[in-house]
Amino acid sequence: MRRFTIMFFFLSFVFTTAFTAAPMPASSPDDHAPIYPSLATDTRQLLQAGIDDFYKSNLALAEEKFDRVIAASPNEPQGHFFKAVVYFWRYTFGSRTSSAAEKFLEIADKVIAQFEEEAEDNPAKKELSFYIGGLYGYRGLVRASEKNLIGAFADINKSNRITKRLAKETDKFPDAYFGLGISHYMAGDIPPEGKWMASLMGFSGSKEEGIKELRIAFEKGLFVRNEAGYMLAGCYEKEKQYKESKEVLLLLLEPFPTNVVFLESLVRVEQKLGNAESAEKICTDIIALKNGDLSQSLAYAAFTRAQIRYDARKFDEAVKDYVLFISKSNPKTSAQDLIYDARFKAGDCYEELGDRETALKYYISVGQGSKFYAEAQARLKAPKIPATQTSGK
């Protein structure tokens, strides 16, 4: 068990470090437009429009605009970088298939090959270094997810070196507080069995320090305001400071009310605040967006709404959501335990509704790794007496 715990921390560190080093596109108000000074005014405005589309979860529109930025300024990194991030999100929050990973890696490899030497030769170009460091972080995360841990660590180490260099100039480059904040927060959150590994990798800090730095990046960052806020909300949630987490998420959603990733986080926080009705409504909003690029977020919204309705004994509504979740989930890439849970709960709903024949089809598909496996096997042998029939006794 101890070996498993240490290995789990080791793999978690890979994913966390990749997110730490990888910037995501930030949307900025008009007075921040000069953060892309190398672009012509009209191209800069087009880039900003693409970033806004990205944060509205309109990935297809964002990609189309980034392609136009690339066509207008092929030797500038912005359009290339943001297009790569679109494919990263399609992989991470969408299909999570190997083909999606390959498409992202293909684009990221080309961008790194085109701009890395320029970034190394011109350390004063912090924006360019930021993009290259970010792409290494993203590439490391995808490689880790695809079980290429050697390649993942090589990318993450490279990303960390770039991030640490930028972090030395936080007074001139406040976005660097983003990487510092995540790093310091995670250092303070490391379990005892992982301390030795963290020490070897120079990983130190406290959760309080990390939250403070993330707040600075959220309030003052030009490139990473949105992702710093997203991470800050996540840290508040982990610390059970749910009201603070909700406050940050609402600020993020104010300009981007259709951002599926932010909405998904708000659902969790509302549940933890005991606001089931609000959480259910947000899930309904996510599902209504029908965002094919972010299909896994839609699937999890369906699962969450199903759970809320199941707990409220709205079996006719809950079963539809369980079935929707199952249909949108990829068994090879989604959390298998949730798929098994949904299959069992769908069967249970059908029994409550008096349709045992359909219930059996779901019970038989519950795998041995499920916490409901034994009960599903029992249900195959003997029917459940619906609560609606026992409540009157």
Grade residue 291 by pLDDT with cuts at 50, 70 and 90. confident
Question: Is it true that domain 285-390 has CATH number 1.25.40.10?
Answer: yes
Cα–Cα distances (Å) from 190 to 6, 17, 27, 243, in that order, read: 11, 13, 32, 24
CB 48 within 8 Å of CB 248: no
Q: Same CATH topology for 8-168 and 285-390?
A: yes
Grade residue 185 by pLDDT with cuts at 50, 70 and 90. confident
Domain 8-168 sits in CATH at 1.25.40.10
Domain ranges (residues) in the chain: 8-168, 285-390
- Over residues 222-274, the pLDDT tens digits come to 777 898 899 899 999 999 999 999 999 999 999 999 999 999 999 999 999 99
Q: What is the pLDDT of residue 145?
A: 81
Grade residue 332 by pLDDT with cuts at 50, 70 and 90. low
Q: What is the pLDDT of residue 307?
A: 98
Q: Which of 60-69, 126-135, 163-172 has the highest mean pLDDT?
A: 60-69
Q: What is the pLDDT of residue 377?
A: 97
pLDDT over 60 (residue 16): no
Q: What is the pLDDT of residue 334?
A: 59
pLDDT average, residue stretch 93-101: 79
Only one residue has tokens 């104010």, namely: 254
pLDDT over 70 (residue 131): yes
pLDDT average, residue stretch 31-35: 45
pLDDT over 80 (residue 17): no
Q: What is the pLDDT of residue 14?
A: 39
pLDDT average, residue stretch 184-197: 76
Q: What is the pLDDT of residue 147?
A: 82
pTM of the model: 0.79
Cα–Cα distances (Å) from 294 to 92, 135, 277, in that order, read: 8, 20, 24
Q: What is the pLDDT of residue 160?
A: 74
Grade residue 363 by pLDDT with cuts at 50, 70 and 90. very high
CB 322 within 8 Å of CB 308: no
What is the three-state SS of the chain?
CHHHHHHHHHHHHHHHHHHHHCCCCCCCCHHHHHHCCCCCHHHHHHHHHHHHHHHCCCHHHHHHHHHHHHHHCCCCHHHHHHHHHHHHHHHHHHHCCHHHHHHHHHHHHHHHHHHHHHHHHCCCCHHHHHHHHHHHHHHHHHHHHCCCHHHHHHHHHHHHHHHHHHHCCCCCCCCHHHHHHHHHHHHHCCCHHHHHHHHHCCCCCCHHHHHHHHHHHHHHCCCCHHHHHHHHHHHHHHCCCHHHHHHHHHHHHCCCCCCHHHHHHHHHHHHHCCCHHHHHHHHHHHHHHCCHHHHHHHHHHHHHHHHHHHHCCCHHHHHHHHHHHHHHCCCCCCCHHHHHHHHHHHHHHHHHCCCHHHHHHHHCCCCCCCCCHHHHHHHHHCCCCCHHHHCCC
Q: Look at residues 277, 268, 300, 275 and name the one whose alpha carbon lies nearest to residue 287.
A: 300
At position 24, the amino acid (one-letter code) is M
pLDDT average, residue stretch 373-380: 96
pLDDT average, residue stretch 186-190: 78
Q: What is the pLDDT of residue 178?
A: 80
Q: Look at residues 206, 212, 211 and name the one whose alpha carbon lies nearest to residue 188.
A: 206
Q: What is the pLDDT of residue 284?
A: 98
Q: What is the pLDDT of residue 26?
A: 53
Q: What is the pLDDT of residue 32?
A: 42
